[in-house]
Amino acid sequence: MKKRKTGKRFLTAFYCVIIMKLFTAPALAAGGHEKDDLIIGVPIDRCPIFYMNEETGEIEGIGADLMRTAAKNAGYSVSFISVKEDTLKSALDNTKYDAVMPFGSAIPSAAEKSTIVSQNLFRTPFTLVTVGKRTLPRLNNLCVGMLRSQTGVAETIRSLYPGIDISMYETMPECVRALRENSVDALLHNSYVWSYVLQKPSYRDLTVQPTTMFSMDFRVGTLDTPEGRDIINRLDRGIIAITDTGRQAVILDYTTRHLYRYDLSDYLYRYGWVMVAFALLSVTFTLFVVKKQRDLRRAGEEQMRQIMEQDKLTGVLSMDGFRRSVEVLLHDHPDIQYLISYNNIRNFKFINDSLGRSAGDELLRFWSQKSMEYMTDEEAIGRISGDHFVILRRINGEEQMDQDERDIINPVRTYFVDRGTKNSIQICSGIYVLTSEDYRNIDVDRMLDYARVAEERVRKTRKDGYEFYNPEQWEKGQRVTYICSQLEDALRSGEVQAWYQPQVNYKTGEIIGAEALCRWNHSKLGWLRPAEFIPILEESDMIFELDKYIWERVCRDLRRWKDQGDIRYVSVNLSRCDMREGRNIPSHFYNLIRTYDLDPSQLRIEITESAYVEKPELLIRTTVKLKEFGFQVEMDDFGSGYSSLHMLKDVPVDRIKLDLKFMSGVGDSEKGRIIVSHIIQMARSLGINMIAEGVENLSQASYLESQDCFEMQGFYFYKPMPVKEFEAIMEQKNP
Ligand code: C2E
Ligand code: MG
Ligand code: MG
Q: Whose CA is nearest to atom 27 of ligand 1?
A: 530
Beta carbon of 498 within 6 Å of any ligand 1 atom: no
Beta carbon of 639 within 6 Å of any ligand 1 atom: no
Q: Whose CA is nearest to atom 25 of ligand 1?
A: 517
Report the residue among 573, 588, 610, 666 best suited for mutation to probe ligand 1: largest number of ligand atoms under 8 A from its CB. Answer: 573
Predicted confidence at residue 1, as pLDDT, reads 42
Predicted confidence at residue 6, as pLDDT, reads 47
Beta strands 206-216 and 186-190 are unpaired
Q: Whose CA is nearest to atom 7 of ligand 1?
A: 694
pLDDT tens per residue, range 41-68: 999 988 999 999 988 999 999 999 999 9
Task: Categorize the per-residue pLDDT at 14 as very low, low, confident or very high, splitting at 50, 70 and 90.
Answer: very low
Beta carbon of 547 within 6 Å of any ligand 1 atom: yes
Answer whether 570's CB lies under 8 Å from 603's CB. yes
Q: Whose CA is nearest to atom 19 of ligand 1?
A: 694
Cα 573 to averaged position of ligand 3 atoms, centre (Å):
9
**Measured from the CA of 661, which atom of ligand 1 is nearest?**
21
Q: Whose CA is nearest to atom 16 of ligand 1?
A: 694
Residues with C-beta atoms within 5 A of ion ligand 3:
636-637, 659
Answer whether 16's CB lies under 8 Å from 69's CB. no
Cα 606 to averaged position of ligand 3 atoms, centre (Å):
8
Cα 590 to averaged position of ligand 3 atoms, centre (Å):
23
- Please check the confidence at residue 3 and state whether its pLDDT lies above 70: no
Burial of 65 (0-12, 13-18, 19+ CB in 10 A): buried
Predicted confidence at residue 11, as pLDDT, reads 47
Please compute the mean of the pLDDT values over residues 179-204 and round it to a whole number.
Answer: 90
- Please check the confidence at residue 250 and state whether its pLDDT lies above 60: yes
In this prediction, what percent of the chain has a pLDDT beyond 90?
60
In the sheet with 99-103, reading across from the earlier edge strand, the strands are 77-82, 37-42, 99-103, 219-223, 115-117
Spatial separation of the C-alpha atoms in residues 621 and 584, rounded to whole Å:
11
- Looking at beta carbons, which pairs linking 316-321 to residues 24 or more positions away fall under 8 Å? 316/368, 316/371, 316/372, 316/381, 316/382, 316/383, 316/389, 317/380, 317/381, 317/382, 317/383, 318/382, 318/383, 318/384, 319/382, 319/384, 319/385, 321/382
Predicted confidence at residue 735, as pLDDT, reads 62
CA–chain centroid gap for 524, Å, is 56
Predicted confidence at residue 86, as pLDDT, reads 84
pLDDT tens per residue, range 580-628: 888 899 999 999 999 999 999 999 999 988 787 777 888 899 999 999 9
Highest mean pLDDT among 26-35, 126-135, 505-514, 574-583: 505-514
DSSP single-letter state for residue 50: B
Task: Categorize the per-residue pLDDT at 79 as very low, low, confident or very high, splitting at 50, 70 and 90.
Answer: very high
Task: Categorize the per-residue pLDDT at 644 as very low, low, confident or very high, splitting at 50, 70 and 90.
Answer: low
Q: Tell me the torsion sign for CA atoms 17, 21, 27, 32.
A: positive
Whole-number CA gyration radius for the chain: 54
Beta carbon of 311 within 6 Å of any ligand 1 atom: no
Spatial separation of the C-alpha atoms in residues 34 and 592, rounded to whole Å:
113
Beta carbon of 411 within 6 Å of any ligand 1 atom: no
- Please check the confidence at residue 574 and state whether its pLDDT lies above 90: yes
Cα 581 to averaged position of ligand 1 atoms, centre (Å):
26
Sequence-ordered list of residues with C-beta below 8 angstroms from that of 461, at least 6 positions apart, any chain = none
Cα 571 to averaged position of ligand 3 atoms, centre (Å):
11
Please compute the mean of the pLDDT values over residues 623-634 and round it to a whole number.
Answer: 96
Predicted confidence at residue 10, as pLDDT, reads 47
Cα 588 to averaged position of ligand 1 atoms, centre (Å):
23
- Give the DSSP letter string of 64-116: HHHHHHHHHHTT-EEEEEE--SSSHHHHTT-TT-SEEEEESS----TT---EE
392: closest CA among 463, 330, 349? Answer: 330
Task: Categorize the per-residue pLDDT at 428 as very low, low, confident or very high, splitting at 50, 70 and 90.
Answer: very high
Report the residue among 534, 551, 657, 696 best suited for mutation to probe ligand 1: largest number of ligand atoms under 8 A from its CB. Answer: 534
- Please check the confidence at residue 140 and state whether its pLDDT lies above 60: yes
Q: Which CATH architecture has domain 319-469?
A: 2-Layer Sandwich (3.30)
| Residues facing residue 79 across a β-bridge | 39
CA–chain centroid gap for 636, Å, is 41
Q: Is the peptide bond before 600 cis (omega within 30 degrees of 0)?
A: no
Beta carbon of 467 within 6 Å of any ligand 1 atom: no
CA–chain centroid gap for 354, Å, is 67
Predicted confidence at residue 663, as pLDDT, reads 67
Beta carbon of 636 within 6 Å of any ligand 1 atom: yes
Cα 487 to averaged position of ligand 3 atoms, centre (Å):
23
Beta carbon of 185 within 6 Å of any ligand 1 atom: no
Q: Whose CA is nearest to atom 41 of ligand 1?
A: 518
Average pLDDT, the chain: 88
Give whole-number Cα distances, 230 to 222, 244, 533, 572, in Å: 10, 25, 121, 116
Helix, coil or strand: residue 134: coil
Beta carbon of 518 within 6 Å of any ligand 1 atom: yes
Please compute the mean of the pLDDT values over residues 88-95 and round it to a whole number.
Answer: 91
Predicted confidence at residue 642, as pLDDT, reads 62
- Please check the confidence at residue 27 and state whether its pLDDT lies above 60: no
**Measured from the CA of 498, which atom of ligand 1 is nearest?**
41
Burial of 636 (0-12, 13-18, 19+ CB in 10 A): buried
Predicted confidence at residue 24, as pLDDT, reads 40
Q: What's phi and psi for 376, nearest 5 deg?
A: -105, 180
- Please check the confidence at residue 21 and state whether its pLDDT lies above 90: no
Predicted confidence at residue 9, as pLDDT, reads 54
- Give the DSSP letter string of 325-361: HHHHHHHH-TTS-EEEEEEEETTHHHHHHHH-HHHHH
Sequence-ordered list of residues with C-beta below 8 angstroms from that of 189, at least 6 positions apart, any chain = 46, 126, 127, 129, 146, 147, 150, 197
pLDDT tens per residue, range 507-551: 999 999 999 999 999 999 999 999 999 999 998 889 999 999 999
Q: Whose CA is nearest to atom 6 of ligand 1?
A: 694
Report the residue among 517, 570, 608, 663 best suited for mutation to probe ligand 1: largest number of ligand atoms under 8 A from its CB. Answer: 517
Cα 545 to averaged position of ligand 1 atoms, centre (Å):
18
Domain 479-733 CATH class label: alpha beta
Spatial separation of the C-alpha atoms in residues 293 and 295, rounded to whole Å:
5
End-to-end CA distance of the chain: 178
Sequence-ordered list of residues with C-beta below 8 angstroms from that of 650, at least 6 positions apart, any chain = 616, 620
The conformational region for residue 665 under phi > 0 = left, psi -120 to 50 = alpha, else beta, is: left
pLDDT tens per residue, range 302-336: 888 777 888 889 999 999 999 999 999 999 999 88
Maximum pairwise Cα distance, the chain: 179
**Measured from the CA of 608, which atom of ligand 1 is nearest?**
34
Residue 580, H or E segment: none
Question: Which ligand has the nearest atom to the CA of 657?
Answer: 3
- Strands (E) in 485-535, as ranges, are 496-505, 511-522, 526-528
Q: Whose CA is nearest to atom 33 of ligand 1?
A: 573
Beta carbon of 720 within 6 Å of any ligand 1 atom: yes
Please compute the mean of the pLDDT values over residues 88-113 and round it to a whole number.
Answer: 91
- Please check the confidence at residue 20 and state whether its pLDDT lies above 80: no
622: closest CA among 637, 607, 609? Answer: 607
Burial of 211 (0-12, 13-18, 19+ CB in 10 A): exposed
Beta carbon of 542 within 6 Å of any ligand 1 atom: no
Predicted confidence at residue 518, as pLDDT, reads 97
Spatial separation of the C-alpha atoms in residues 458 and 131, rounded to whole Å:
100
Residue 263, H or E segment: none
Cα 127 to averaged position of ligand 3 atoms, centre (Å):
97
* Domain edges within the chain: 1-32, 319-469, 479-733
489: closest CA among 421, 549, 429? Answer: 549
Spatial separation of the C-alpha atoms in residues 603 and 607, rounded to whole Å:
13
SS3 of the chain: helix, strand, coil, percent, to 5: 50, 20, 30
DSSP single-letter state for residue 138: P
Beta carbon of 545 within 6 Å of any ligand 1 atom: no
Answer whether 113's CB lies under 8 Å from 223's CB. yes
Cα 571 to averaged position of ligand 1 atoms, centre (Å):
11
Identity at 475, one-letter amino acid code: E
Q: What's phi and psi for 154, nearest 5 deg?
A: -60, -40
Question: Which ligand has the nearest atom to the CA of 695?
Answer: 1
Sequence-ordered list of residues with C-beta below 8 angstroms from that of 545, at least 6 positions apart, any chain = 487, 488, 491, 537
Answer whether 430's CB lies under 8 Å from 342's CB. yes
- Please check the confidence at residue 166 and state whether its pLDDT lies above 90: yes
Predicted confidence at residue 641, as pLDDT, reads 65
**Measured from the CA of 575, which atom of ligand 1 is nearest?**
44
